[in-house]
Structure 1
Amino acid sequence: MYAQVVRYYQFGDPQNVLKVEQRIIEPLKQDEILVKMDARPINPSDLIPIRGAYRHRICLPAVPGYEGVGTVVEIGPLASSTLIGKRVLPLRGEGTWQDYVISRAVLAIEVPDQINDDAASRLYINPITAWVICTETLKITSDQVLLVNAANSSIGRLFIQLSSLFGFRVIAIIRHTRYAEELLNLGAWYVIDSSRMSIYDATMSVTNGQGADASIDSIGGLDGFELARSTRPGGTFLALGLLSGTQVDWARISKELSVHPQLFLLRHWIQQISLSRWHDTFEKVIELVQNGQLNFTAPTERFALHCVKEAVQFAESNKRTGKILLV
């Protein structure tokens, strides 16, 4: 059987290196399952590797996409026949930007019928990252203040929602005042518009000169340093993303500030956990989504897989107000 797939053979601008091709679906082995994909989001974490940030661990040609949802249409000889027709997240295997994904049954996550494809396709990268950071990495307690930049991003909104569940307070940093009221209604304790005020001054003012107990940086560069500077002595500065494309100055942070700098990589957490913990973590996050305690913004736009270049261009444009899905 032939199927459509997105590949890149060299690193660079997605507009130049992404190719839509046909692949042959090989017979399944052992406990493998074949999943017909229904939806896949375009995340910054999907695009950064295409540009070559992780070239030391990516074998070319490669298929992009870390997450998505689909339906099991075929199983290998050792996989359970009960999986046929089930909606699953086919994770930790092939890239998801293709019509069909082959995954190990034991790693696939079954999705309840109550969660639609729009939400199900986004259950992995951001929700699991936010949950692990709050409950395991930072272990934030109800009396603490968390400082988050890019707070209107998908993961920023999840940190705010988790703060309502666990009782800690989030200072949300944005660059446009129009998002302030919405984030406050979502559960943010305080909102800083960095285009109008100093992050450091505003944080010190609202925390009575103490600074935040922990901070999460999704931008990097000078924005990341300003976040670290606004963290109290002995607090934790956690680097999560690189939306600016520039690394935070780790040497300067170590030299000038008395914070504990850390880098969070979801793949490192995955390498350390058991199979049961993998599934247990998803069960907790899925329950929150089912109960309406964790919500995702509606997708801005949907693109067919063969229009992937147009989809990426739109995802990185100022026109986008929510997640872009490949369907």
Structure 2
Amino acid sequence: MRAVVVERPGGPEVLVIAERPDPVPGPGEVVVRTGAVGVNFKDVYEREGRTAAVAPFVPGCEGAGTVVAAGPGVSAPAVGDRVAWWASPGSYAELVTVRADAAVPVPDDVTDADAASVLLQGLTAHYLVTSTWPARKGATALVHAAAGGVGRHLSRLLADSGVRVIGTVSSAEKAGTAAAAGVTEVVVREHGDFAARVRELTDGRGVDVVFDSIGRDTFEAGLGVLARRGTFVLVGAASGPAPALDPQSLAARGSVFLTRPTLVDHATEPEELRARAAEVFDWLREGRIRLSVSNTYPLAEAARAHADLQSGRTTGKLLLRPS
């Protein structure tokens, strides 16, 4: 099979296409022929050496396709079933080994591309607004990168729940995308101090919650716009890891809360994963979640996909097509 391989940590140029042996499913596993593969910042962190992945390795974790082989003890999914996954290492390949209990059934009315586009980002938005900070009518939220994949889903779900959403974007070109996703006030970060603008928009009170997927560049200022007993949710680190913080400083900021949740702790148990995924697919049908694919690349152009993702110019999901 063909796969994308990281021979050493580095920039997008270290992603190269190579022939690898076809995988054989072990106990509790299935092998899936991939129809579409999601490209995520997690893959960038792997490529750069910021995770435990040891080169050489095949990056990627999210995709959708058709089961072609099942290992011992697997009764479901069966050969021929369509499934999606969000946490299977080595997904930048024509064939991927997936734990059977981590394979989500894909409804007939959802394509492989749609499933690979929505699963990881949709599940992330789902647990953020239902578990981490249950959305409540009348509250005010600040969503960074509101035109990005998770940001758009998150903004729309919050707005649908009656939350006022203030969203930041990296450039004026992305303002319309954020507004279409339910953001009430769009703040362009390149135009100046976003924190001052947020305080102005909230008459100095601050926001009830901050969802920050940027990290280093927005962390300190974001903590400063929380209302008393507000919640800061660190979702990611697109600009780099957030700086170290003395927990005592949270008291001085108004007894605020700081959390760094992950999808691993919200969608690992098979029952919880399938329940959340089923609701995400329902939201997709209902229009509460809307898909936007910025670009689709051949497997051999994974390096270009990573470069585009890190450029900050994309507003929708990026996909790889193995065939």
Q: Same fold (TM over 0.5)?
A: yes
Q: 1:245 to 1:32 in 2, by over 3 A?
A: same
Higher RCO (CA 8 Å, separation ≥ 6 residues): 2
Matched, 1:130 2:128: no
Q: Is contact 1:204–1:211 with CA below 8 Å preserved after alignment?
A: yes
Q: 1:163 to 1:253 in 2, by over 3 A?
A: farther
Match of 1:11 among 9, 16, 38: 9
After superposition, where does 1:46-125 map in structure 2 within 5 Å? 46-54=43-51, 57-80=52-75, 83-125=78-120
Matched, 1:260 2:257: yes
After superposition, where does 1:1-327 map in structure 2 within 5 Å? 3-16=1-14, 18-54=15-51, 57-80=52-75, 83-251=78-246, 254=249, 257-258=253-254, 259-270=256-267, 274-297=269-292, 299-317=293-311, 320-327=314-321
CA apart distance, 1:131: 1.0
For normalisation by structure 2, the TM-score amounts to 0.89
Q: Is contact 1:35–1:90 with CA below 8 Å preserved after alignment?
A: no
Q: 1:69 to 1:45 in 2, by over 3 A?
A: same
Structure 1, unaligned runs of 5 or more: none
The residue type equivalent to 1:12 in the other structure is G
Q: 1:27 to 1:274 in 2, by over 3 A?
A: closer
Structure 2, unaligned runs of 5 or more: none
The residue type equivalent to 1:211 in the other structure is G
CA apart distance, 1:326: 0.9
Q: 1:260 to 1:222 in 2, by over 3 A?
A: same
SS in structure 2 at match of 1:78: coil
The residue type equivalent to 1:105 in the other structure is A
Give a deviation string over 1:155-177, Cα, whole Å, max 9, x none. 11011110133222211112323
Q: 1:208 to 1:319 in 2, by over 3 A?
A: closer
CA apart distance, 1:282: 0.9
CA apart distance, 1:246: 4.2
Higher mean Cα deviation, 185-194 or 61-70? 185-194
Q: 1:59 to 1:250 in 2, by over 3 A?
A: same
Q: Is contact 1:225–1:249 with CA below 8 Å preserved after alignment?
A: no
Q: 1:139 to 1:20 in 2, by over 3 A?
A: same
- Alignment partners' CA distance in 2, 1:24 and 1:41: 22
Number of residues of Structure 1 aligned to a counterpart in Structure 2: 319
CA apart distance, 1:36: 0.3
CA apart distance, 1:235: 0.8
CA RMSD of aligned residues (A): 2.3
For normalisation by structure 1, the TM-score amounts to 0.88
Q: 1:114 to 1:248 in 2, by over 3 A?
A: farther
SS in structure 2 at match of 1:216: strand
